[in-house]
Amino acid sequence: MSIGKHTIQAPPIQLKPFVVQPENNGNSEIDLSTLLELLSNPNLFIDRSFNKKKEDNTNIFVPKEDTDLLGETEEEKKQRLEKERLLEKERLEEAERRKKQLEEEQKKLESLSEEEKQRLEEYEKKLAEEKRKADELAKQRDIPVDKDRARVEVDPLYHTRMKYINQNDYVGSDYFFNRIAPRGSEDKVSVIGDSYLNTN
């Protein structure tokens, strides 16, 4: 092999084919088919001990000395009954206290509801009185219509498209020029942006 001015001499390389030899399992003592059959069982690792019946422990012999030790004495029985009586008394007192508390809260709610009813009635009366006063004031300020007065014709210069306005509630230039404004020398005026009655 020549690299520039240098020459390297190496022995020829021979590559031998490498083939993996198949394993010979004929002499193995493990039967793989049996192992595969075991692993294919889906219930292999499920614990089924809960299906077993529990053993009856009633037939277990307990010596009399142990039974006497486990049983309570008369003093212990008296203490237990006294403790249960005190607990029952406390439960009854607590129940009675809660009952009284609920009754007091119910009375408070009823008194509050009565106050709310009175307040609502007073508010409705005030509202009706204010409405009556407003109606009387509107009647006093109402300008009588002069039938002999000439009507002013409104000439719109800009047509609006606000079609959602209720025509009966509309108050615009017609109302102003024909009922409120003093009559001018001209019978026709031009109004910008107020021609709802002339929309298409």
| Res. 63: pLDDT tops 50 | yes
120, 154 Cβ separation under 8 angstroms: no
Among residues of the chain, what percentage have pLDDT more than 90?
A: 9
pLDDT tens digits along 105-152: 888 878 777 788 888 888 889 988 888 888 887 777 665 656 665 555
pTM greater than 0.95: no
161 contacts 138 by C-beta, under 8 angstroms: no
Lookup: tokens for 197: 């009655």
* Two tokens, residue 82: 């006294």
Neighbouring CB atoms inside 10 A of 194's CB total 18
What is the reported pLDDT for 196? 47
Classify 24 as helix, strand or coil.
coil
